[in-house]
Amino acid sequence: MKRRDFITLLGGAAAAWPLAARAQQQGMPVIGFFSGLAREAGTPFFAAFRRGLHETGRIESRNVQVVDRWAEGQYERLPQIANELVHLPAAVIVATGGAPPSAKAATTTIPIVFVMGEADPVKTGLVASLNRPGGNITGVFQITSVLGPKRVQLLHEFVPKATAMGMLLNPKFPDSEMQAEQAQSGARSLGLELQVQHASTDHDLETAFTTFGTLRVGALLVGNDVFFMSRHKQLAVFAARLGLPAMYSFREYVTDGGLMSYGPSLSDAYRQAGVYAGRILNGEKPGELPVLQPTKFEFVINSNTAKALGRDVPAKLLALADEVIE
């Protein structure tokens, strides 16, 4: 870890300790919330989490205190943040944005509520089963990895003449290979070539988009990753410069200039995590709360972005869209 990063983390820990101590002195439980996202990108999701918490009667500074930590897209920081929250001590830990494995490794006793989108929590050993997780962990599983073929199909409908698509992945994200396999499956079924480029730094992003331009791909699929989510506005700008129609995982990309997204509601997942955290504080056991899954996937189109790309949205896609941003 860089010295600067260590100092930042240490400063965050120092700030959290007196906050937690005051809450405990007042008989208030402390929730430790942490994410791989950058704080700015995670703010709306953190607000959704708080709404869910309030639904259970848990109001901050009245009968609960929340200590939040953000890894700013640096996955290597997550284990240290998890240990910091364990030693507060937190009454419940909420782990999102790539953080659930670090939370599980840090404690077997403190209840954990997760929000995760790619890897199956059962297959990865996070929980025993979706219906009865067992142990100290439960949460929300968004099953986004299996949506790769559908995203490729929708993007192909927008640019039917394209023979090659680009895909952007972060190699540091544990489930990037799974995302690539799903997308490749969808591309092969349509007779498309999929060109994958990797990026885990800002310099990598610039290089990847330069390569996409050189390869002359006709469209772009952006993988699900907290590093990309933290830079979603920048990604929209890069795609626009190349005139690339791009497909994303969540509507937040589209509201800030991306073209299309297909996936579950991320805000609702965080709200549900807040509800679970509150229910656990109110006496329920995490191992008896089933892992929640989305019941609906949203297809969102930004028609202004389509116009800026000089393209009309096909009528078929307009009819399929759950929301068209104008």
Identify the pLDDT of residue 30: 97
In a shared domain, residues 171 and 40: no
Q: Over 70: is that where the pLDDT of 20 sits? A: no
Rounded mean pLDDT, 246-254: 95
In a shared domain, residues 109 and 203: no
| Among 3, 84, 5, 67, CA closest to 30 | 67
Q: What is the pLDDT of residues 54-65, one digit of tens each?
A: 999 999 999 999
Identify the pLDDT of residue 27: 72
In a shared domain, residues 256 and 275: no
CA distances to 55, 149, 188 from 182, rounded to whole Å, are 37, 6, 10
In a shared domain, residues 39 and 119: yes
Q: Over 80: is that where the pLDDT of 6 sits? A: no
Rounded mean pLDDT, 272-277: 98
CA–chain centroid gap for 25, Å, is: 34
Q: Whole-model pTM?
A: 0.87
Strands 298-302 and 260-263: antiparallel
Q: Over 60: is that where the pLDDT of 3 sits? A: no
Tell me the C-alpha distance between 268 and 299, whole Å. 15
Find the domain containing 86 and state its range. 3-143+266-288
| Among 50, 40, 63, CA closest to 94 | 50
Cβ-proximal residues to 148 (8 Å cutoff; 6+ apart), any chain: 179, 181, 182, 183, 185, 186, 221
Q: Over 90: is that where the pLDDT of 2 sits? A: no
In a shared domain, residues 165 and 310: yes
Number of domains in the chain: 2
Report the CATH number at residue 316: 3.40.50.2300
Identify the pLDDT of residue 26: 60
Is the separation of the CB atoms in 149 and 186 below 8 Å? yes
Q: What is the pLDDT of residues 137-191, one digit of tens each?
A: 999 998 876 799 999 999 999 999 999 999 999 998 877 888 899 999 999 999 9
Q: What is the pLDDT of residues 201-219, one digit of tens each?
A: 999 999 999 999 999 999 9
